Structure 1
Amino acid sequence: MINKNWWEKEVIYQIYPKSFKDSNNDGIGDIQGIREKLPYLKELGITTVWICPIFTSPMVDNGYDISDFEGINPEFGTMADFDQLLKDANKLGIKVILDLVINHTSDEHPWFQEALKDKESPYREYYIFKEGKTEPNNWRSIFGGSVWEKLPNEDTYYFHAFDKKQPDLNWENPKLRQEIYGMINRWLEKGIAGFRIDSITFIKKDQDFSSLPADGVDGLASCKSKTRNRPGIERFLNELKEETFEKYNCVTVGEAPGVPYEEYGDFIGDGGYFSMIFDFNYSDIDVESGSDWFKRTNWTTKEFKEKLKRSQEVLQANGWGANFIENHDQPRAVSKFIKPEFQTNEAAQAIGMLYFFLRGTPFIYQAQELGMQNAERKIIDQFNDISSIDNYYRSIQEGFTPEEALGFVNQRSRDNTRTPFPWDASQYGGFSDTTPWLSMTEEYPNRNAQSNPVLAHYKQMIALRQHGAVSDVLTNGTIVFLDNVPDNVIAYKRVLKDRVVYCYTNLSDTEELVSLDAGSIDLFLNSHDDLVSETNDVKLHPYQSILFKKINEVNGNGN
């Protein structure tokens, strides 16, 4: 019998191909580099890899601007290379999922080029064009500036929610939608296991295209409230599922920002659009808005705990979640969640344990398992990420000094997780024999994939979830957050019938005393080398996490 929910058992590893492993020494990671490192992923315990875009692209947004959905970008290799990677991964029992970017294309896509040539071209209907002497409205794009770009020889503008070189597709056009579905099905026929679906909540725009009250000194307003998860999107998402994903036993992971919790059932419930979606409510706790990095917050562990608890409860009530603490759009978790003086291997292990044993499928972003930290850059010219450059200049525009603006960008830059993977302590970290496309993190000679305690700890975490004595509890058990703990401690239990496993994490820079209400415990995993215990109490070090069961506990009645 085919297991329709096979993805609940997976551990998914996200690969940023440009920075994973360079096989031909041009300074850019590639498909053969991924293939070379499959044994490393197998040893780590990974069962599925998600590879960020490898499609033909001018790389304005590092591959999220696609000029051919069914071509491989030459800097990554060829389709033959990909076929070989898929075959080798399958031999090792590793599934492959790809990024699906269907909200927009590159402006170099043949469809858009045809649309530019002739205003009567049917391809004009594949994108969103508006005639006029001025911009149709005051919406600000996600990467800054107007969402409208004027055509050079016409009083006509085209729409782009992201960069001007990423024109949005017109999902109101059924012919365009059928072209998209055909492409998706051809990839699934090739044998990939599914997709992570990029910015999917942006495919439906409010058709009034009316202006909004300005929310910045530029006189513009964020386009999100008119372009993200808008009424009518359900028709597109249902059709997408029925025409493609439903026909295959594949996994779909939606990047679905802007979805209110009361709509999660539509997205991940029985008959939902996707297998699971990412929830950004807790991951973006350090900023008021994911796209305005200068709006920092002074978040507390208590606030983070409440957001995490709410997220898990909603996911559990509606379906399945995709749990993460890092990705290609987020900074490094150690730098983000842990005070500077405590950014140690033990703290990296603790933050890993905190999220890894939540209910849902755990995602690991490349080099997260090494305890990597943010890369500090001294001048804006050292950044590659277009969002970082936009946020730097917007911060200055909003009244901050260049030094303050650089500080915001260093904390939040997407380049933080895009630095080349440090495989060893040699020059360029064994990533390449030549200067990489993006400079390495300064710490790499001391933090790499050789003799790394954090890496060893991640292997233990994965083995525990996948094959350990309490694997079924950690995978299938319900989750209950515990209230009788200090504000700085995040504690939850996973319960399956009469079996209970507890995870306690002190997410603060002070020692915390917690009562376990148990005579003795069986410790499965500890982020630190020691555990200070007194009768029914334990004293958790700053940023310490423990996973355990209470000996002789029956029916999950422990607190």
Structure 2
Amino acid sequence: MTRTWWKEAVIYQVYPRSFRDSDGDGIGDLKGIEEKLDYLKELGVDVIWLGPVYKSPNDDYGYDVSDYYEIMDEFGSMEDWTSLCSEIHRRGMKIMMDIILNHTSDEHAWFQASKTPGNNPYRDYYYWREGDSEPNNWESFFGGSAWKYDEEARAYYLHLFSVKQPDLNWSHDVLRREMYSMMRFWLDKGVDAFRLDAVNLLVKPGEWQDAELAEPDHCLAPCGHLIANGEGIHDIFQEMNNEVFSRYPMFTVAEMAGVSAEEGLLYTDSTRKELDSIIYFEHMDVDNGPGGRWETIPFSLPAFKQIITRWQLMLQGKGWIGLYLNNHDQPRVVSRWGNDSRYRVESAKMFATCIHMLQGSPYIYQGEEIGMTNIRFDSIQDYRDVETLNYYRIECENKGRSHEVVMRDIYLKSRDNARTPMQWDDSVYAGFGTVQPWIDVNPNYKEVNVEKALADPDSVLHYYRELIRLRKRYDVIVYGDYSPLLEEHSEVFAYRRTLNDETLLVVTNFSEREQMVDLGEPTSEPSLLLANYPPAEEPLTALRLRPFEARIYLARNNIL
């Protein structure tokens, strides 16, 4: 396998609105991020993924871009961005920008110009369809129709997400050149990497009248299976690579919902010259019911393991993935699949162990490293996420479900679970700022915060530092082959990583109950590299795992 800096990197995701407010307006900003760079450097991360900071009306909090070349006023100025980029580089870290390619804001100059009917050079930048009714019965990922009628344009436009996020038409040559120019602009300013948002949706079916749905498909949105990974998508990424990526010493990670491991390999196989890595969703959808993300079913570890193993083996030695259980679109995993009260610390460490020791690039989402948990607001008025608010409106107002029932869904899956302010200390507003934040702080901030974690040698934070240290010390963690163990076990996830004469053994208990497992007789005693409980002396043939216990062993000469 080819060795590269980005395969060895650990990436930390910053959600700018919620990281640190430096100017007292209740909203996180670029100067606030700069204030905390030493903390991130000491954590040990290599790349800072900066959520979208472009000019935006904030319907989807930055993922609706109105100007790709300007910084959102709430976050600061281009001078602030330049200073942040310089300070990141001065500390030996790199910066990753979130690039939104599938859609713009409806307030973008292109979209406003595209509304004029007739011979208009911007009309084909978007998907406009004239007529008295919606072109088809597609539904948005955020609920409701994927089509919106515009009086000025006298036509419907496509929006796979919010009504304020019209989809761009990537079959249009001029549009593609505009987007490539924008990407080069940021790379020329010093960006080291791109996270590409929702980019396997760029190609839409050519014949709209043949894309009517007989019945809903809830794997993504009802129209998801018609759009994701469409014919011609690989041609776009090969062109994008040729026009942009190959010209810079950078790396790319593409967010792709509804992608299989087989498709993932096509996107990331280096011989195809498309993308370096992808962030897939399949493992995060394991507790989604037939109705999609809002219909929650019990977590199944065997199903989760099957997905992880399929991706690990399919891409092994050929492609690359991002490793994550938390991000700005997902509820906090310690609340979702762990125990965020009695075993908060143990389960947070266990999840980190399981995911960081796999092959791929680990992603740490802000607050994950201190074990931050989900939020439970009593009133829907306290939520800010457009997807959550749309869901509440549709379920309560349109379908007549009760507030209490719908809120149970929201407590489990709302994206706002991950977007409450970063908890820095136990002062008012958790040290995020000096005034009421744009979204309320989690009430547990007095117990769960960075300051307290730094003072506790057994904290989740210090455990994350050790995981990162191990990754930098042992090549087997980065480049070793993966092989699963105990595949049928319903509560324990165990696997090996092997490289040359080194074998790494990872054992994690996903349950609140003790588990006894037999991992076989090694030819000699392996060393315990890290565990989230005080060391125990059991042999591998009779290993007793405590609730949410995690252990990492290392052996030489492949003896495990």
Distance 2:487 2:369 in 1: 31
Q: Residues of 2 paired with 1:489 and 1:79: CA distance? A: 49
Q: Would you say the 8 A contact 2:294–2:413 is kept in 1?
A: no
Q: How does 1:143-292 map to 2 (within 5 A)?
A: 143-153=142-152, 155-209=154-208, 210-215=211-216, 222-270=222-270, 271-288=272-289, 292=292
CA distance in structure 2 between the aligned counterparts of 1:305 and 1:266, rounded to whole angstroms: 22
Report if the CA contact (8 A) 2:14-2:49 is conserved. yes
Q: Give the 3-state SS of the residue equivalent to 1:139 in structure 2.
A: coil
Structure 1: runs of 5+ lacking an equivalent: none
Partner of 1:362: helix, strand, or coil? strand
Matched residue SS, 1:8: coil
SS of the residue corresponding to residue 92 of structure 2 reads: coil
- After superposition, give the CA deviation of every residue in 1:427-475 in whole Å (9 maximum; x if it has no partner): 0011000000010112111100013111111111111111x3xx21111
Of all paired residues, the percent bearing the same amino acid is 36
Q: Is the 8 A contact 1:266 1:272 kept in 2?
A: no
1:532 Cα offset (Å): 5.6
The code of the aligned residue for 1:307 comes to I
Partner of residue 547 from structure 2, selected from 542, 549, 557: 542
Rate the CA distance shift 1:239–1:194 in 2: closer, same or farther, 3 A: same
CA distance in 1, matches of 2:542, 2:17: 48
Deviation at 1:106, TM superposition (A): 0.4
Q: Which deviations, in whole Å up to 9, do the C-alpha atoms of 1:154-177 show, x marking residues without a partner?
A: 541111111111111111110111
The 1:357–1:330 alpha-carbon spacing in structure 2 relative to 1, beyond 3 Å, is same
Q: Answer yes or no: is 1:462 the counterpart of 2:465.
A: no
Name the CA distance, whole Å, in 1 between partners of 2:536 and 2:332: 27
CA-to-aligned-CA distance 1:364-383 (integer Å, 9 cap, x gap): 00010000110111121211
> Which segment drifts farther, 220-229 or 83-92?
220-229
1:79-158 equivalences under 5 Å are 79-153=78-152, 155-158=154-157
Select between 11-20 and 300-309 the one with higher mean Cα deviation.
300-309
Q: Distance in 2 between matches of 1:445 and 1:57?
A: 33
Deviations 1:329-376 (A, max 9, x none): 000010111145544212211111110111111000001000011011
Summarize the Cα distance change of 1:535–1:285 in structure 2 as closer, same or farther, 3 Å threshold.
closer
SS in 2 for 1:533: coil
Using the TM superposition, name which of 55-64 and 507-516 deviates more. Answer: 507-516
Cα deviation per residue 1:269-302 (whole Å; 9 max; x = unaligned)? 023411100121111211136x833322223222
Return closer, same or farther for 1:486/1:112 CA change in 2, 3 Å cut-off. closer
Distance 1:485 1:44 in 2: 36
Q: 2:20 is paired with a residue of what secondary structure? A: coil
In structure 1, C-alpha distance between the alignment counterparts of 2:169 and 2:255, rounded to whole Å: 19
Moved more, 146-155 or 407-416: 146-155
After the TM superposition, which of the residue ranges 257-266 and 494-503 deviates more from structure 2?
257-266
Given that residues 216 and 398 in structure 1 are in contact (C-alpha distance below 8 angstroms), is that contact kept between their aligned partners in structure 2? no
Q: Which runs of 5+ in 2 are unaligned?
A: 454-458
Match of 1:76 in 2: 75
Matches of 1:484 and 1:285, distance apart in 2: 16
C-alpha distance in structure 2 between counterparts of 1:126 and 1:16, whole Å:
29
Counterpart secondary structure, 2:316: helix
Do structure 1's residue 359 and structure 2's residue 359 form an aligned pair? yes
SS in 2 for 1:443: helix
> 1:9-40 CA deviation, whole Å, 9 max, x = no partner?
10000000000011101110000111110000
What is the SS of the residue equivalent to 1:278?
strand
Distance 1:435 1:532 in 2: 50
Contact 1:532 1:539 in 2 (8 A): no
2:281 is matched by which residue type in structure 1? F
Indicate how the Cα distance of structure 1 residues 394 and 530 shifts in structure 2: closer, same or farther if over 3 A, else same.
farther
Q: How far apart, CA to CA, are the structure 2 residues paired with 1:401 and 1:216?
A: 25
Contact 2:198 2:255 in 1 (8 A): yes
SS of alignment partner, residue 529 of structure 2: strand
Structure-1 separation of matches of 2:361 and 2:17: 25
Match of 2:389 in 1: 389
Aligned partners of 2:299 and 2:337 also within 8 Å:
no
Give secondary structure in 1 for the equivalent of 2:194: strand
In structure 1, the residue matched to 2:456 is: none
CA gap of 1:298–1:400, structure 2 versus 1, over 3 A, is farther
**Given that residues 56 and 63 in structure 1 are in contact (C-alpha distance below 8 angstroms), is that contact kept between their aligned partners in structure 2?**
yes
1:94/1:323 CA distance change after superposition, 3 Å: same
The RMSD of aligned alpha carbons is 2.0
Q: Which residue identity lines up with residue 361 of structure 2 in the other structure?
A: T
**CA–CA distance in 2 between the matches of 1:10 and 1:85?**
20
Q: How far is the alpha carbon of 1:401 from its aligned partner?
A: 3.0
Separation in structure 1 between the aligned mates of residue 418 and residue 221 of structure 2, nearest angstrom = 29
Question: Which letter does structure 2 place at the counterpart of 1:489?
Answer: V
* Matches of 1:489 and 1:234, distance apart in 2: 38
- What corresponds to 1:495 in structure 2? 498
* Aligned residues between the structures: 547
SS at match of 2:494: strand
Pair 1:421-2:388 in alignment = no
- Aligned-partner residue type, residue 386 of structure 1: V
| Matched AA of 2:192 | A
- Tell me how far apart the structure 1 counterparts of residues 288 and 384 of structure 2 sit (CA, whole Å): 21
Contact 2:11 2:362 (C-alpha < 8 Å) held by counterparts: yes
CA distance in 2, matches of 1:367, 1:344: 13
Q: Determine the C-alpha separation between the residues in 2 that align with 1:201 and 1:485.
A: 33
* Deviation string, structure 1 residues 142-197 (Cα, Å, up to 9, x no partner): 11111111112454111111111111111111011101111111111111101000
Deviation at 1:394, TM superposition (A): 3.7
**Between 140-149 and 296-305, the greater mean CA deviation after superposition:** 296-305
| 1:521 to 2:526 alignment | yes
Query: Which of 533, 539, 551 in structure 1 is aligned with 2:538?
Result: 533
Whole-angstrom distance in 2 between the partners of 1:248 and 1:375 = 41
- Compare 421-430 and 399-408 and name the one that shifted more: 399-408
Instruction: State the alpha-carbon separation in 2 of the partners of residues 92 and 246 from structure 1.
Output: 26
Structure 2 distance, partners of 1:499, 1:92, is 32
Greater Cα shift, 237-246 or 355-364: 237-246
Residues 32 and 98 of structure 1: CA distance in aligned 2, closer, same or farther (over 3 Å): same
Asked whether the equivalents of residues 485 and 514 of structure 1 are also in contact (C-alpha less than 8 Å), the reply is no
* Contact persistence 2:114–2:123 (CA under 8 A): yes
- Shift of the 40–340 alpha-carbon distance from structure 1 to 2, 3 Å rule, reads closer
197-206 or 533-542: which moved more?
533-542
Name 2:294's counterpart in structure 1. Answer: 294
Please identify, of 535-544 and 136-145, the stretch whose mean Cα deviation from structure 2 is larger.
535-544
The one-letter code sitting in structure 1 at the alignment partner of 2:542 is D
| 2:493 partner SS | strand
Measure the CA separation in 1 of the matches of 2:420 and 2:303.
30
Post-superposition offset of 1:213: 1.8
Are the structure 2 counterparts of residues 342 and 213 from structure 1 closer, same or farther at C-alpha, using a change threshold of 3 Å?
Answer: farther
Decide whether aligned partners of structure 1 residues 91 and 202 sit closer, same or farther in structure 2, where only a CA change above 3 A counts. Answer: same
Cα gap change, 1:532/1:412 in structure 2, threshold over 3 Å: closer, same or farther?
A: farther
Contact 1:293–1:408 (Cα < 8 Å) also in 2: no
Check 1:216–1:474 CA distance in 2 against 1; reply closer, same or farther (3 A cut).
closer
1:66–1:497 CA distance, 2 compared to 1 (3 A): same
Q: Are 1:342 and 1:509, in contact at CA under 8 Å, matched by a contact in 2?
A: no
SS state at 2:389 partner: helix
Q: TM-score normalised to the size of structure 2?
A: 0.94
Aligned equivalents of 1:272, 1:508: Cα separation in 2: 42
